[in-house]
């Protein structure tokens, strides 16, 4: 472990340093959060094969025992009924306090842990915009949102200045889970240890301030901004809060009112008792959380809706054979058909990677359905047919094999204990496998 880092932590923690240092030799806290839009708590605990213990950070979050292995290959995970997440990472969204019909912006969203948590709290209402400028990470984010079944979402790949200017004054809530030096993740990521330096910490702090400044533009008057990091450094935490409040007079600091963690450290210009810190001694890895409110009006950009489109009669008729679609809206981008409960929005020159539920690719006068149509938790009740698999058939399906199951004709959802894993196409005697090749598994719990 980097000695300079340890020296700084000893100065910060004083009498608690020995306990902190001992924690660095222990395994990371592991956690899993169930998706309440796909499964109930009792059902999850019944089907999940490992013992779980409730965390203090989030009602849906549980500690995982160290011996729990290959959780990512369990059908509950593959179906989007749960998400593996370090327990204290769920804390910032709890402090954000999302309500149904809120418009929420997750400004640094990949890989999607906090975005999926927000989307579950929105319950298909309001709007969630998830932004990630790094394209590879943005695709991981998109994959997780799709697996978890969320559709009232816009996934963007923009710099924060451009995005917040385009969406100025739109949002009730903004989360900035900022890129940081990652001191709290040293046990997980070697780079956080080997590349640690005070210069990097200062560079991160300056970047965090710029992202926060941009985030202010996106907020409505009265809107809430939550800032979080997974680092211990004062420069990236309390000092960022102090500098931010000094430079942004339209923002005030609010009390996090957390029932977990502890207060921050005293720094002039901010309220240390109003922020929340989480150390390994608090049963989580490193997290810092601060909360703000915008008290003045700023520039507001008009929300523009995209022109309504509709698939051809042939495509719509085919869709109706798959799903009894509720009233909603369509968009077509590069021959891909998308669906939303609310109208599609026009974000100008902002790079939009996904808006709504990807229903499928239109080829001439037909549609080749997409996995998202079946994994969507909103559309699940409207699917026309499904076939429930036992464990043996599920293993076949996840390997990409054809299922020798008769009587099903047309596209059908494939389920395990009621959870949709994917889909296939039956001809009356067999079901052809349509599970995406990139998701197929040879080893299943």
Catalytic residues: 230
Token pair of 267 as six digits = 């720094």
List of residues 6+ apart from 244 with CB closer than 8 A: 209, 212, 213, 227, 251, 292
- Which among 226, 18, 270 has a CA at the least distance from the CA of 118? 226
**In 28-170, which ranges are E strands?**
30-34, 52-54, 61-64, 82-84, 103-106, 127-131, 153-156
Phi, psi dihedrals of residue 287, rounded to the nearest 5°: -145, 150
Closest CA to 261 of 78, 56, 42: 56
- The count of C-alpha atoms lying within 13 angstroms of the C-alpha of 178, restricted to the half-sphere facing its C-beta, is 29
Strands (E), 107-235: 127-131, 153-156, 171-177, 219-229
CB 151 within 8 A of CB 356: yes
Q: Judge contact between 228 and 175, C-beta under 8 A.
A: yes
In the structure encoding, which two tokens stand for residue 136, read together?
A: 């590879």
């Amino acid at each position: 472990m980097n000695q300079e880092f340890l020296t700084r932590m000893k100065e910060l923690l004083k009498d608690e340093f020995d306990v902190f240092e001992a924690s660095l030799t222990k395994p990371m806290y592991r956690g899993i959060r169930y998706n309440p839009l796909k499964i109930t708590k009792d059902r999850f605990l019944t089907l999940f094969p490992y013992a779980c213990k409730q965390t203090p950070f989030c009602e849906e979050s549980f500690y995982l025992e160290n011996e729990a292995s290959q959780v990512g290959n369990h059908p509950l995970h593959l179906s989007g009924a749960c998400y593996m997440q370090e327990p204290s990472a769920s804390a910032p969204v709890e402090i954000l306090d999302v309500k149904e019909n809120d418009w929420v912006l997750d400004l640094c969203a990949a890989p999607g842990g906090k975005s999926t948590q927000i989307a579950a709290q929105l319950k298909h209402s309001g709007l969630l915009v998830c932004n990630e400028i790094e394209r590879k990470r943005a695709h991981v984010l998109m994959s997780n949102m799709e697996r978890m079944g969320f559709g009232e979402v816009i996934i963007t790949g923009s710099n924060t200045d451009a995005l917040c200017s385009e969406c100025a004054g739109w949002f009730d809530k903004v989360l900035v889970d900022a890129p940081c030096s990652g001191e709290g993740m040293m046990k997980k990521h070697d780079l956080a240890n080997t590349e640690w330096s005070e210069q990097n910490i200062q560079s991160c702090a300056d970047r965090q301030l710029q992202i926060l400044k941009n985030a202010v533009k996106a907020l409505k008057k009265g809107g809430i901004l939550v800032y979080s990091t997974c680092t211990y450094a004062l420069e990236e935490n309390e000092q960022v809060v102090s500098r931010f409040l000094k430079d942004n007079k339209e923002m005030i600091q609010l009390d996090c009112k957390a029932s977990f963690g502890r207060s921050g450290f005293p720094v002039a210009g901010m309220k240390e008792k109003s922020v929340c810190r989480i150390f390994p001694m608090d049963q989580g890895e490193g997290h810092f959380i601060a909360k703000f409110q915008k008290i003045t009006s700023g520039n507001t950009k008009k929300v523009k809706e995209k022109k309504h489109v509709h698939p051809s009669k042939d495509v719509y008729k085919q869709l109706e054979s798959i799903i009894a679609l509720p009233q909603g809206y369509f968009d077509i981008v590069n021959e891909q058909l998308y669906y939303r409960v609310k109208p599609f929005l026009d974000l100008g020159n902002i790079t939009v990677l996904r808006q709504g539920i990807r229903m499928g690719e239109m080829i001439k006068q037909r549609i080749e359905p997409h996995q998202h149509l079946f994994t969507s938790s909103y559309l699940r009740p409207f699917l026309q047919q499904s076939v429930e698999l036992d464990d043996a058939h599920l293993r076949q399906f996840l390997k990409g094999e054809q299922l020798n199951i008769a009587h099903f004709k047309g596209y059908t959802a494939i389920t395990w204990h009621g959870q949709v894993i994917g889909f296939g196409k039956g001809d009356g005697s067999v079901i052809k496998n349509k599970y995406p090749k990139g998701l197929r598994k040879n080893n299943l719990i």
